[in-house]
Structure formats: C-alpha cells, structure tokens
Copies of this chain bind each other. A is one copy, B any other.
Amino acid sequence: MSPASDLLAATLAQSDFHPRLPQQRRLYEAAKTAIHQNLLAAGKRLPSSRDLARDLGVARNTVIAAFGQLAAEGYVSSTLGSGTYVADLQELSAGMRRGAGAPGAPADAARAAAPLSRRGAELTAFAAGPRYEIQPFAPGDADFSSFPFKLWQRLQNRVWREARADLLDYGQSGGYLPLRQAITEYLRISRSVKVSVEQVMITAGTQQSLDLCAQLLADVGSTAWVEDPCYWGARRVFQARDLLLRPITVDRHGMALDAADLATEPRLIYVTPSHQYPTGAVMSLARRRELLDVAVRKNAWILEDDYDSEFRYTGRPLAALQGLDTDNRVVYMGTFSKVLYPGIKVGYIVVPPALIAPFKSALYDLQRPGQLMVQAALADFIALGHFTTHVRKIRQIYGARRELLRRTLAAQLGSQLGHGVAISSEESGLHLVVELPERTDDVALAALAAESGIQVKALSTYYLAPPLRRGLLVGYAYVTAEKISYYGKLLAAVIQSGVRR
C-alpha cells in the first residue's frame, strides 16, 4: 500500500469520521482534509483509482466519483496517462479551478470502465438528493399547500375553453405577450427594474435562464465569478457548461472582491444582491456601484438572480441592482416557483436591449419553450390582482413562522448564543442560518439532525473554497407552528450536543 492509501485508509477507519455519509463522500472528505492539512502535499501523485479501490476495499466507482468531485473542485488535477496529482492550495485559493484541466482532451484512464463522461461523473458525483417535504426545515421550500387550487383551476379552464390552437404550440417570441406585459409592470413597480416588454422573456425557470446566459455569454473555459457560498443550482449549471468558477468571498455586505479577484477576467458575475443565497446578506449600495463599475471595466455580464425578493417581512422590498445599471451590463432573472408552486416551471429573464434578438432566437432554438396555456392562466392571475393577494398572504404566514422559529431556537440555545453560535437576523427569505463555531462539523450535525427527522443543510457544503463558515440552513416556510415548536427544540438540542463550548 502506498503512503497515500495508508493515510486515507487510516482516516476512513475512524468510526467518528463522518459516520453517516456514503462511502464516496467519506473518501472525498478524507482526501480533502488531508490536502488541507498538507498531509497530501501539493504535486503529490495519488494512487490510481484501481489501486486505491483495492487498498481501501471499496468499489472502483466510489473512488472515481470521489476523485471526480475533488477534480471538479480543484483539489486534484488529472492529466491523460500520467495520473492524478494534488493541486497547489495556494494557487487554488488564488483562483479555484475546475477539473476541466484539459478541456477537449480525451478521456482519462477511468473512462473506459465508467459509463459516464468526466463531465457526467462530476455532475452526478453528489446529487442534491430527493427532498422530504413531510420533514421539517429543508431550506428553500415554500408552502405550496396554501396555493389557491380552485381559483387557479377556474383561470385555467377559462383559457382552455377558448380552445386557442396557437396556445398549444411552442412559445416562439419570448413567451405569451400578456404575461410578459404583466411581469414588466410588476418589475417596474415592485422591483425598480428598468424594463420594456421587449426585454422580458419567459423561460422554464431559473435553471433554464442561467443556462441560456452560460451558453450565449460565456465559452468553455470562461471565468464566472460566483458568490462563495453559492446557490447550488447555479454552480451546477455553470459547471455543466464548462465554465471556470472563481468563488468570491461573501461578507455581511455581499460579494467582497479583493485584488486577486480583480486580477481575473470574468465573463459572468453571478449574484443574489437582494438576499444572498444562502447567507441572507444584502448587498450594500457601495458594493452594488462597485460591481457595476467592475462589470463595465471588465466587459463582463452581471447575472442578478432575484429569486425570492417577494419574501421580505419588514420594510419595503429592496430595489434590484438592475435599476442602478446605466450601462446595460445586468441580466436580471426571477421565478414564480417560490411564490406559486415549484412545478409551474415559469421564470423570466430581463436582458439588455443588445441581447434581445439573440436571446429570443436561442430561447426558441435551444429550449423550445411551451406551456403557453399555463402562461395565459398566470397572466390572468397577475392581471386580476390574485398574485399580489397571494404574496401578501404567504408573506404573513412565513414571517410569523420565521419569528416563531427564531424565538424557539433562541430560548433553547440560550447561553450558547454569542459563543460562536448566532441566528441570522435579516428579515427575509425562506430559511434562516444558525451560525456555528469555526471547528464544528456542520455536515455531521446535519446528519445527526436527520436522525431526528430534521432536514437542515450544512452551510459549509455551499462553499467552493476555504475559508468556509460553519452553520445550518433551517427552512421554515412550509412548517406549521406546532412542528416548528416541537422540532425547533429538537434541533436546538442537536446543536447543543454537537457544539463544543
């Protein structure tokens, strides 16, 4: 056995090393830890996947999947025929790079055996996994049980009764016009977006909006600045389009660029200024202005994902970054999945005038959008005022649940608060963050919570690069008051047991 195999085998043999994670994830964590602790030094060659699988007594696919993720996150790099090497972390933290070390190069040795391509292995290495709505506290989920089924059905029927054959076709011109008009008006009034109806296009949701931008505005190997921590779905889409992700630290005022960041040349800058995902930070005006300046100087596009701006529980909604943009560098996007229901698959994108024609044609050519009947019902839903009513209703429900969850946790955590434990205080979104002391294993803590039927997520898993913060994302939007009281106490107990004081 090679020293590297020995080292990893020893780590994996520790029964308290992420005991509840699947084997490939444990291997990934073991290697990552060893690299961070410099036990596997930069430039060191790792054993082949075949040898390592034999040495550790695991399936080779397990090793390949773990290596794939390490490569995707830049911890190791593979070169055809010459093996897998530990990356230089100094260099890494100066510019996170994806495993696409050799785009266009033929497969590595692993490929012949694996059913998936390198890209496929990376993209599926760690599935987001199914969600369990019945279990409390999964972040990001909305309460669509409060959706007005009957009203919606009535609006749909009205559309279907007209039996308009043209609404059965693909959407060819950026979406159903009355819906685009309704969105234009809404964004102008509620979000201070500077927009004319031609700039608005209907997509099948935010993933599809982002994918369109990644295709049309970036090339293989282009750099995308992403917030760190970052929305998982956006990261996936960019990686699937073979962009290089450069993680940018997020602090209390949003994305915080340093000199090393500014030395790189991004094509895309992905931000969630109204409510950073997942930390909840609101980007300050100074940072917004700076970012717009940088985008002009770098000739880059800012992708503003305003995914949950409807959920602010106190004060007025914040204006969108797009409204400050005088140079047409911002592509703005939103979705109806959070406010109405996820499966509706209707989002929108607002592009600067220069991008209207190419986006419109690419939207049709590449995605063939449809569901015009749904779009027509939605247009009526907005135009008749139901959208505003529904938002007001769920905002009230969610705000109350947020408050209850915070109070429950605070009462229970008591003296621990302030000793490295904090509960996020911004008044918006569908989840809150319980920040944990630096050395807490938040992944293990989330796994422990899962044993009590609680689906929180570890903050550290949203990070692309160190230094990362530890914490738990706690979703409350779809959890009833009784469950919040009951499971909130349970969760606090789990946190108390896991945090060494």
Q: Which residues of A approach B to under 8 Å, CB–CB?
A: 100, 103-107, 112, 115-120, 123-124, 127-131, 133, 144-145, 147, 149, 152-153, 156-157, 160-161, 163, 165-173, 204-205, 207-208, 215-222, 233, 236-237, 240, 242, 265, 267, 299, 337, 341-345, 354-355, 357-358, 361-362, 364-374
Select one of B105, B123, B147, B222 contacting A366, CB under 8 A: B123
A358 near B120: Cβ-Cβ < 8 Å: yes
- Is the pair B131, A172 in contact by a Cβ cutoff of 8 Å? yes
Q: Tell me whether A365 and B127 are in contact (CB under 8 A).
A: yes
* A144: B residues at CB distance < 8 A: 165, 168-169
Q: Is the CB of A221 within 8 A of B103?
A: yes
With both chains docked as a complex, state the minimum distance between the C-beta of A270 and any C-beta of chain B, in angstroms.
15
Identical copies in the complex? 2
Q: How far is the CB of A68 from chain B (nearest CB, A)?
A: 11
CB <8 Å contact, A207 and B168: no
Q: Which residue of B lies closest to A237 (CB)?
A: B366
Which residues of chain B have C-beta atoms less than 8 A from A236's C-beta?
A: 365-366
Bound together, the chains give a CA A373 to CA B160 distance in angstroms of 15
Complex CA gap A291/B457 in Å reads 47
Q: In the complex, what residues of B have CB within 8 A of residue A217's CB?
A: 115-117, 120
Chain B nearest CB: distance from A69 CB in Å? 13
Contacts of A130 in B (CB 8 A): 172-173, 364
Residue of B nearest to A373 (CB): B343
Q: Do A119 and B215 form a contact, CB below 8 Å, given A105-B221, A370-B342? A: yes
13 A/B residue pairs, CB under 8 Å, sorted by A: A100-B104, A112-B299, A117-B217, A118-B219, A124-B357, A128-B364, A128-B365, A144-B165, A145-B165, A149-B160, A169-B343, A233-B368, A345-B368
